[in-house]
Amino acid sequence: MSRDTEPVVHCWYENLEDARQFQVLSLDESGGIVEVKYVDGDKDEIDLDAWFELELELIEKPEEAGDYDDEDDLDEDDDEYEIEDEDEDEDEDDWHDGDDE
């Protein structure tokens, strides 16, 4: 129950003022926006300054949240898989270069 609770992507919180529970989907620090998804599926954006004014508590994922797949909404970086594939291709090219000598 702290007013200085940092927003962490993937984590669940309860707003103690209105008892609404939500998950942080993304954090845009440069734009000052926290994107959240409530247990009922509604999405919202919270200004980062307003976030620190809220009375929040870090919580476990609520049972009611099991009705939707929250992983589909989370901000993920898919580029790492492409980079790994490119590295594998480069390794194959290096092996073939050795045969030319």
Domains of the chain (ranges; CATH) run 12-76 (2.30.30)
**Structure confidence by residue, pLDDT tens digits, 77-87:** 433 323 234 44
Kind plus residue range of the DSSP H or E element containing 50:
helix 48-51
**Structure confidence by residue, pLDDT tens digits, 21-64:** 999 999 999 999 999 999 999 999 999 999 999 999 999 999 98
Q: How many other C-beta atoms are found inside a 10 Å radius of the C-beta of residue 39?
A: 20
Tell me which of 73 and 60 has the higher pLDDT.
Answer: 60
Starting at the earlier edge strand, list the strands of the sheet with 20-28: 43-47, 33-38, 20-28, 12-15, 56-59
First to last CA, the chain: 68
